[in-house]
Structure formats: C-alpha cells, structure tokens
C-alpha cells in the first residue's frame, strides 16, 4: 500500500507537506479514496510551526482567547497561540490551548476547562475535516459551554457548510481524484474492493 504513496506540498510554504496514499479507506464517518498521513505536520517542529503560521494569518483580526485542538494538533495549536499573541487584535494576549475530551463527536469539558471556553472567543483546530461533522459538532459544543466560536482551522478540509469561517491548508482541489462517500453508498464497496486500512487521527492500520 505504501508503495503508492506520494507527497503534496503547500503552495504557500513547501516546508508543509502531506503524504498521500490512494486506495480504499474507512474513517469514522465515511469511506475515502485517499489516506492523508499528517504525521510530519503534527510531529515535527518545523512543519508544525510553518502550518501554524499560515493558519494564524487568517485570524489576526479576530479576537481569540482559547484554541481548542482536536486530533493530536496541540503542537500546531501552541504555535498558533504564539503567533496570534504577537500580531493583530490578540497582541500580548495570553491565549489558552486546550484539548477537551471528544465522545461520540461531542465535546466534553470538565469543570477545570470551563473558564477557558465560557464567555470566551474560541478557535477550533482539527487535522482533517472531510465531511464537516467533527467541525460542526465542535462549534456546537463551544456554544453549548457558553463560548463564542470565531472560526475553525484544519490541515485538510472537504467541502461542507459551516456558519463560521473555515481555513484549510489543503482542500479537495489539491487531491486529484479524491472522493468521500457515506459507508452505505460507497461504490468501492459495491464493486467488491476491500478496504486497505482503517484511518483515524492517530494514523492508519492496514487490514490484512
């Protein structure tokens, strides 16, 4: 499977790359035609810092008190907080970066995290937003806990409706032939093509 892999690079900064593996993959919400390996962006200092700079540039004019990070994006979120606290309306602000629990796509905030969301301007950061379900559920959760969602940022995003601005490093147009289907409507399954791997925010596990 890995022999099919190739890299795509950001048009803005070539330090930011994502490894792409074509095939048939199952996520929590969909079946997709390409697996996106974001290990570099999530794990390496230079890549995380470069990604944070690009994502932060879209929010320098927006008040941000807290960044909620999902899908192992806390390093990128910390760099975003640093960039935002040195520019625009957030200059010299002590921005919080938190990772709440996510249960059945619902944000769960324990009491110690409530002060970082209630009556605060909150930015949501995820690694991938293919169907928009995680992003929209996160926005709903921020409002439920009394916060004001100011936007969402993601490394890769599909086309979906959201009532706050969504900034993507990579989109569907960057992946030639990328498609996403609900599991029950997946044409690859209907053609009898076996699933190559199960994918989540930690990576992928091949199905032998």
Run of H or E including 52:
helix 45-57
Q: What is the pLDDT of residues 108-142, one digit of tens each?
A: 999 999 999 999 999 999 999 888 899 999 999 99
User: Chain centroid to CA 184: how far?
Assistant: 24
By C-alpha distance, which of 83, 82, 114 is closest to 98? 114
CA 154/CA 73 separation, integer angstroms: 9
Residue showing tokens 């791997």: 197
- Domain extents in the chain: 2-206
User: Taking the domain 2-206, which CATH number applies?
Assistant: 3.40.50.2020
Determine the length of the chain.
Answer: 208
pLDDT of residue 73: 97
CA 47/CA 145 separation, integer angstroms: 32
pLDDT of residue 114: 97
Mean pLDDT by 10 residues, the chain (208 residues): 90 90 93 94 96 96 97 97 94 95 91 98 95 93 98 94 95 90 96 96 90
């Amino acid at each position: 499977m890995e022999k099919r892999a190739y890299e795509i690079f950001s048009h803005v900064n070539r330090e930011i790359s994502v490894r792409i593996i074509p095939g048939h993959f199952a996520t929590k919400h969909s079946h997709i035609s390409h697996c996106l390996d974001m290990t570099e962006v999530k794990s390496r200092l230079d890549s995380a810092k470069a990604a944070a700079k690009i994502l932060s540039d879209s929010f320098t004019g927006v008040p941000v008190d807290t960044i909620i990070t999902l899908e192992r994006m806390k390093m990128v979120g910390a760099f975003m907080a640093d960039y935002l606290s040195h520019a625009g309306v957030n200059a010299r602000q002590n921005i919080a970066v938190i990772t709440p629990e996510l249960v059945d796509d619902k944000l769960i905030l324990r009491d110690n995290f409530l002060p970082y969301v209630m009556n605060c301007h909150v930015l949501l950061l995820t690694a991938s937003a293919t169907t928009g379900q995680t992003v929209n559920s996160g926005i709903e959760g921020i409002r439920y806990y009394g916060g004001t969602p100011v936007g969402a940022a993601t490394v890769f995003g599909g086309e979906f409706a959201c009532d706050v601005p969504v900034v993507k490093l990579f989109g569907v147009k960057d992946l030639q032939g990328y498609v996403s289907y609900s599991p029950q409507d997946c044409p690859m399954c209907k053609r009898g093509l076996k699933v190559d791997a199960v994918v989540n925010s930690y990576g992928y596990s091949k199905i032998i």
